[in-house]
Amino acid sequence: MSTYREILTTARNYLKQHAIADADVDAWYLLAHVFGISRAEFYLHTEDEVSGTQAKAYMELIRQRAKHIPLQLITGKQEFMGLEFEVSSDVLIPRQDTEVLVEEALKVCNQKSVLDMCTGSGCIIISLAKLSNLTKAVGVDISEKALKVARKNAAKHKQNVEFIQSNLFDNIKGEYDVVVSNPPYIPTEDIKNLMPEVRDHEPIMALDGDQDGLSFYRRIALQVKNHLNPNGYIMMEIGYNQGKEVVDILQKAGFYDVKIIKDLSGMDRVVSGRYMS
């Protein structure tokens, strides 16, 4: 039998031996996940013995993490905008950087219709629906498996979001006041250099932005114009070094009031623009 302290120490050391960068944090997070205890409870019971069944379950998750399986795919959940979302290997894991896109959209979307292109887990459109009062909320993805996850998340948060399977705007009818998107934007050649957690366990179709990483921005800029109400907004997450190029794409496509929004680290994160239909 092991104590809480002993099993946590064993887990930390095991993850460090397997080059897991956040070994201490991940070992603790999985401990809390398996045993259902808070930090305060842990410190009150560090020398208490843990059951063999729970210890076995915990170390099995630690072994998965040591294989560079993302923590979120092990637990099946990720927090985003203060909300908990279900995730799987069929969707991009929601990231804090993307909250910048949601926060920017929240400034203009109240009492508006919003479409989320490349919705994945649905975290963007569901957050907007939960935190604002939308007249219509639609999420679009080419992957039916991703949409299955998104529908579960919408039901979990009791939000009335319509999800449509479509290759970008192929199956989309009507116009919207705001279109948001976190499209694939990593250049194909750069994917092999990503962390194994991302490269080997998240869907490539949600990452690969073709040769220069800008393919989806060009396609969206041309197609979205047919689906925006007068003076409607387009807002897209971008890679840290893509701001100038995406601004140029939108301006050449006829958008005005095009601007870059930075994240908390001062990096370019979102490009927005408006279109006069």
Do the bridges between strand 256-262 and strand 268-275 make them parallel or antiparallel, or are there none, so unpaired? antiparallel
Structure confidence at residue 231 (pLDDT) = 97
Question: Which residues touch 135 (CB under 8 Å, ≥6 apart)?
Answer: 111, 112, 113
pLDDT in the model for residue 1: 76
Q: What are the two backbone dihedrals, phi and then psi, of residue 266, each rounded to the nearest 5 degrees?
A: 85, 10
pLDDT at res. 34: 96
Sorted by sequence, the CB contacts under 8 Å of residue 160 that are 6+ apart come out as 129, 137, 154
For the record, the structure tokens of 150 come out as 């998104």
Asked if 263 and 229 count as a contact pair (C-beta separation under 8 A), the reply is no
Predicted confidence at residue 197, as pLDDT, reads 93
| Per-residue pLDDT, 277 | 75
DSSP string, 90-148: TSPPP-GGGHHHHHHHHTT-TTSEEEEES-TTSHHHHHHHHHS--SEEEEEES-HHHHH
Output the pLDDT for position 181: 98
Work out the burial of residue 116: count CB atoms within 10 Å of its CB; fewer than 13 is exposed, 13-18 middle, 19 or more buried: buried
Q: What is the mean pLDDT of each run of 10 residues along the chain (277 residues)?
A: 94 97 97 95 93 94 98 97 98 97 98 98 98 98 98 98 98 98 96 94 93 97 97 97 98 98 96 93
Amino acid in position 79: E
Q: Given the DSSP bridges, would you call strands 176-181 and 162-165 parallel, antiparallel or unpaired?
A: unpaired
Judged by DSSP in three states, 189 sits in: helix
